[in-house]
Amino acid sequence: MLMIKPTEKRKVFVYGSLRTGFFNYDKYLKGNVLNCEAAKIKGKLFHMPNKGYPAVLDGDDYIYGEVMTVDNYEEIMVAMDEMEGYYGENNTDNEYTRIIMDVEMAETGAIEKCYVYKYGLNDEDEFNKHKIYISHGDWKNFMTKFKKDA
């Protein structure tokens, strides 16, 4: 499938396996991050144990993550789109959709408009069967505890 290049150059908010210290950070971002800042968005965060990664849906909780400024921008964004199963706006095959959201920077409280990958919820029954709601909004902390308890 044809991958869609981002039309605007923006920072990316990551909340799951693309965060510092996780496997997809090492695979897709390591060596290409110019700046990384703690931040948060509004939504609802879930872990999908059947897939091993998180999902963000609409909601009013805070979800914690990192805002990445990346080098080799187009190359990195195309690779991340592919990893996230994003094939373009309104594509029914999208697992995640790359959207623009208001992101609150932890250090300054400033709001920046960044790309965020939001879960597509293509198979709601399958999602509801496996989902684990993360009320505290931090997948990194959840996974640290999840792995200790496993």
CB 76 within 8 A of CB 70: yes
- pLDDT tens, position by position, 72-129: 999 999 999 999 999 988 899 999 999 999 999 999 999 999 999 999 988 899 999 9
**H or E element in which residue 124 lies:** helix 124-130
pTM strictly above 0.85:
yes
CB 67 within 8 A of CB 11: yes
Q: How far apart are CA 73 and CA 80, in angstroms?
A: 10
In a domain, 6, yes or no: no
Tally of domains within the chain: 1
In a domain, 1, yes or no: no
CATH code where residue 94 lies: 3.10.490.10
Options 84, 89, 104, 107, the catalytic residue:
84
Q: Is 8 a known active-site residue?
A: no
Question: Which structure tokens are listed for 61?
Answer: 């909780």
Range of the domain at 37: 12-149
In a domain, 4, yes or no: no
Q: How far apart are CA 83 and CA 66, in angstroms?
A: 18
- pLDDT tens, position by position, 19-29: 999 999 999 99
- pLDDT tens, position by position, 35-47: 999 999 999 999 9
Furthest-apart CA pair in the chain: how many Å? 43
CB 45 within 8 A of CB 109: no
When pLDDT is cut at 50, 70 and 90, the band that residue 1 belongs to is very low
